[in-house]
Structure 1
Amino acid sequence: MITVHHLNQSRSHRAIWALEELSVPYEIVHYQREKTMLAPESLKKVHPLGKSPVVEDNGLILAESGAILEYLQENYDPDFHLKPQDPANKIQYRFWLHYAEGSLMPLLLMKLVFNSLGKPPVPFGLRTLGKALGKGVQKAYLDRQLETHARFIESHLAQNAWFAGETLSMADVQMSFPIFALLARGGIDNLPHTHAWKKKVEMRPGWQRTLEQGGPLNIPG
């Protein structure tokens, strides 16, 4: 049976959701973040990077969300429920699988870091300077970049029901975490199609079971 090493409030919700959509049996090993919000050291016993998600399947240990999702689709989705077969949609599928972590998530992580410079654990005496620095970087660079990406995504979803065509695919599973983070911390208005996509995700029984098994996904702003 597949084992998902699941860290609370993390990208590993993607692996659980994919398995739920594919109706593949699995078990979860739960990990809780430290007070620093980092993963516990015990995850390094599973994979040297100590990150989540990590999936075990018949002795194979896989890390990285995109690699895990592609593996699950290739090995547990013989009828291609979560991968489009139309050539044009295949191109979109591949693009969004890579875009999620390659282009969007680095900006969202930077947003979180710079938004936290005025808060603990930053030393008290440096918080005023940190807050000013964080706001400056966000205003001069990050917010503009995120606005560009948000409009790009919104334009795509205005013409497509899902990220790779008219049905859910692993591209949507991969994009779930950054979209939820973008809507939580991007501060960008007028994204009706992106919000509608998120609502469709939340209404899926597979996503609801994911939250039951993996706990809530409350991404900080």
Structure 2
Amino acid sequence: MITLHHVPQTRSMRSLWLLHELDVPFEVQTYPFDKTLRSPAFLARSPAGRVPALELDGEAVFETGAITEILCERYSPEGLGRLVSHPERSQWLIWVHFAETITQHAAALTQQHVALRDDAMRSPIVMKLEAARIHKCFAALEARLGGRDYLLDGGFSAADVSVGQAVYLARFFAHLEGFDAVAAWYDRITERGGFQASLPKAGEHLFDAEFFEPWPLPA
């Protein structure tokens, strides 16, 4: 049995989307974005107190890249995954893990815009730097996706799920204007039922705005 421990609009959305794409039976336990994840019971599943945490046949699995590799190897090694012997294996691994490069910048901006409640704690310099770093990631994706429908020539895979969810988060802080190939790819993959099923339900949203502008620097 599979149980996903999930906070809407966080990294665990990546694993939720993948599970829907795999079309395997699973359960979801949803948590708020608060100190609930610091409880001893949750820390036994994910020692850093972060989502996602996955229970897979009684074993605790954490870290999205590891979860993606394990689920694909078990349930879709030649579909959403790529076997070790597959010529696209290295590119599959690169892009599955590139998702976290994007997400670290989105996470920093989530902290600045959402988690910090006191305006005096926010840093306009950090906001501008991290938004610029997201645009650098978009540029890398643009170069990869030029002339391609998906990140891999062999078609849609878990690499698109991983990076697509990272771009979903990043778009709260950085626009896709000027990245035409990325925008077309993003529209293509987010039409999928698996993505739509992973979106937050009413009342579950972490973000209270569709876009967070960087704060202006002091005059």
TM-score by length of 2: 0.79
Which of 121, 124, 127 is the matching residue for 1:135? 124
Give the secondary structure class of the aligned counterpart of 2:153. coil
Q: Structure 1 vs Structure 2: percent identity of aligned residues?
A: 26
The answer (yes or no) to whether the contact 2:52–2:62 under 8 Å persists in 1 is yes
**Residue 7 of structure 2 aligns with which residue?**
7
Give aligned pairs, total: 206
**Residue 49 of structure 2 aligns with which residue?**
50
Report the CA distance shift for 1:136/1:208 in structure 2 as closer, same or farther (over 3 A). Answer: closer
Give the secondary structure class of the aligned counterpart of 1:165. coil
Q: Which residue identity is paired with 2:135? A: E
**Residue 198 of structure 1 aligns with which residue?**
186
**Residue 117 of structure 2 aligns with which residue?**
121
Once the two structures are TM-superposed, the CA of residue 217 in structure 1 deviates from its matched residue by 6.5
Q: Which residue identity is paired with 2:160? A: D
The answer (yes or no) to whether the contact 2:8–2:199 under 8 Å persists in 1 is no
- Cα deviation per residue 1:45-70 (whole Å; 9 max; x = unaligned)? 53322211111111111000010010
The answer (yes or no) to whether the contact 2:176–2:183 under 8 Å persists in 1 is no
1:107 is the counterpart of 2:95: no
TM-score by length of 1: 0.78
- Cα deviation per residue 1:72-94 (whole Å; 9 max; x = unaligned)? 0111125x11124651x322211
Matches within 5 A, 1:8-157: 8-34=8-34, 39=37, 41=39, 43-78=42-77, 80-84=78-82, 87=87, 89-101=88-100, 103-115=101-113, 121-122=117-118, 127=120, 130=121, 134-139=123-128, 141-157=129-145
Give ranges in structure 2 of 5+ residues lacking alignment.
Answer: 213-219
Give the secondary structure class of the aligned counterpart of 1:56. strand
| Separation in 1, partners of 2:52, 2:202 | 12
Instruction: Tell me which stretches of 4 or more aligned residues in structure 1 moved more than 6 Å.
Output: 212-218
Give ranges in structure 1 of 5+ residues lacking alignment.
Answer: none
